[in-house]
Amino acid sequence: MTLYFLGGGNMAAAIIAGLRRAAYPHAVAVAERCADKRARLHAQFGVQTLESLPPQLHGDDVLVLAVKPQDMAEACAGVDTGGALVLSIAAGLPVSALSQMLGGTRRIVRIMPNTPAAVASGVSGLYAAEGASAHDRERADAVMRSCGECVWLDTEEQMHAITAVSGSGPAYVFYLLNALQQAAQTLGFSPEHAKMLSLATFRGAVDLAAQSSDDFAVLQQQVTSKGGTTHAALASLRRDDVAQAVTRAAHAAAHRSREMAQTAP
C-alpha cells in the first residue's frame, strides 16, 4: 500500500510533515511536475518523488489530490486510480466533478484542511461520498489526524461552511494579529515587541479558552470591568460592528466556495 500525493505544494508538505511526526506506517510518494519541489520534498522528508503517477494505482493505495482546483482536470487526465481510495483537498470541487475527472470512481473523501496542519495544529473537515466504506473513512481519518483534529460532515453542502470557518479561518486570525501589531506600534512599541505582544496575547487567550469550560462571551466578561479600559475598547469594536464584519467575511467565503462548485466541470 502506498499513499500517493498528486501535487507537492504547501498543504501536501504540511500533511506529509504530520505523517512523518506520527510515524505513518505506509510508503509515501509525491507526483510533482516541478523538479525543484520534488528535490525539496525528498530532501526534507525522504519521500519518493515522481514526475507523474504510475500508469495504474492499486485498490489498497490512497491517492491525495493536492493540486489547485483550476488545475485539477488537467492533472487528473489519464490517471487510472485502479480502485484506490481518493482523498481530495481541493476547495470547491464536488464529488461529482472529481468522479468525472477520475473515470467515474465514487470512492472519494473530500477534505478541507487548514494551514496550521504544518505545525500539527490543524483542523480538517471531511465528507465521505457514498462509494467510500467505513474502512475508507478510518484511513482518511488516520491521515488527517496526523496533523490535527478532524470533523466529519454529514452532507457535502457543509463543505462550504467548513471552508468558510476553519479552512479560511487562519487568514482571519493573521489579519487580526497584524491589526493588533500595527496598533501596538502606533502606541510606541518597536515592530519586534509589537509582534511578540500580539502573538503572546493571542496564544495566551486561546490557551485559557481551551482549558476553560466557560463560553467565549463569559471569558470576555471576566476580562472586562465596567467603565474600565477593556470596556472602552470593546465599546469601540461594537460601534465598528466588528463581530458582524467577521460573520459577513465567513459568509463571503462560503458563497465563493459555492460559486467554485457551480463552475466545476
> Is 104 known to sit in a ligand binding site?
no
> Is 67 known to sit in a ligand binding site?
yes
> Is 103 known to sit in a ligand binding site?
no
> Is 68 known to sit in a ligand binding site?
yes
Handedness of CA 145, 151, 157, 161 (dihedral sign): negative
> Is 1 known to sit in a ligand binding site?
no
> Is 9 known to sit in a ligand binding site?
yes
- The cell for 166 is 476553519
> Is 66 known to sit in a ligand binding site?
yes
Q: Sheet of 27-31: strands edge to edge?
A: 48-50, 27-31, 2-6, 62-65, 85-88, 108-112, 122-128, 148-152
> Is 7 known to sit in a ligand binding site?
yes
Between CA 103 and CA 170 the distance in angstroms is 35
Can you give the length of the chain in residues? 265
Question: How many Cβ atoms sit within 10 Å of the Cβ of residue 231?
Answer: 13
* 109: helix, strand or coil: strand
Annotated binding-site positions for NADP(+): 6-11, 66-69
Annotated binding residues = 6-11, 66-69
